[in-house]
Structure 1
């Protein structure tokens, strides 16, 4: 039987202070419940490896609002150290792919020479085109000038004859067109009708629901001001994004063809939500309740 370690007891107290059960924390972090229990009891031998121990503890801390770096420093005697040879096999494969095969080095060496040849050929073609256009320009201008002079002569005589026969025709041709102004007014009215409305319709505990209407688009952007954990689903429960968003980074998803967006936030005070570039104002103070579940219901404008 395992008993709570000092670190496990600290994490459990923070979890219970947030009102989270182990099932809630499993849903929030996607870490299996048995591993969460192992973290609280200090039973690290059940974990897949030392690397995962630290990774799981870090996610646990973020979910309950603790500083993971501070926790690692304070309880470094309890948390196992991780060395490069203990990293998961997937990470090792990623690192190995960065090494360029020896056969490609020759291609890289030849690339500048190939580019130089292409540039020389391109410059020669450009010079040839410019010279050809310049040489043929006088003939074209002469023909164009002759045609313009003929047209001017013809128009002058016809214009004089037309004015003589009907001097009042010009005045009759100019009429104020009220349709343009009418169309502009109708366009302004349509724009005003399409001005989106984003309003809160309910809020309780950590849950808040908003309504988005008077728009035919729904583009969601979640911006980080720290390192919050965020999970985003559609109205049918399909997970579209999950993870930590780095400082000053954003996650954007187009919900235009969806009816609902559900945003699960681990640190609301480090997170900003934008709907079609309009900033959403939290109905529940993010400093008082830093773990929130925000639902946005979308009704597309006709």
Structure 2
């Protein structure tokens, strides 16, 4: 392009920018082109740009921001572009519009592009959504029509369904009652009055109870009697244990310990706290009444 064309292109870009109230910094931010190159373009000094490729590229990007047609700019400048446009559209020659008219048209084009250009990108998406909604509506209408043509269920079938549902509810209620009953029968050992040697075992297993004795850091002598009859007697070595099975017919168990502070007792897998006061009495006899 000639120097005159370069200056005409730069002048038109500058005028379009000023008409829209835009700054060189704004153009730089949008195009990512260095400010010195943008100023060279506006001055028509295209030789300051790296090469012909960059001239076309930078002018095209600048023109896109201010709403101008880069192809017309690069095809030969403002005058040639306007003449070609007039020949194509009107098929007749006529006077070119004044510069004021040109500026007004540029301002209108730029304003339209700035206001509505961002919405044009949503047009394809809107069209797709409308098509999808139409297809779904058609499918729903066909499905609804098919359902309307199907015969209604007979009362006997509904009755069977209700009976099955009622049976499930009864079964569920029975299971809940059974679960509640089993939870309420939790083993419990309680003190008899204010005594520290008499205890009651409630809700013991119907198959009989199991007592486990263990010696602590020293030996412990222990004797067990069931309903007055001694069933086991021995000295447990440090850290050892012994399990004694109590028959389901036994109602009272007597336990005698020769080293109570160093003895622990477990009843049916749960620890039996027979010394809540933590006294240091060595010899101790306790009774455990079993209530099924």
> TM-score normalised by the shorter chain: which range applies?
0.3 to 0.5
The one of the two structures with greater contact order (alpha-carbon pairs below 8 A, sep at least 6) is 1
Instruction: Normalising by structure 1, report the TM-score.
Output: 0.39
Please tell me whether Structure 1 or Structure 2 has the larger radius of gyration of its CA atoms: 2
Q: TM-score, normalised by structure 2?
A: 0.41
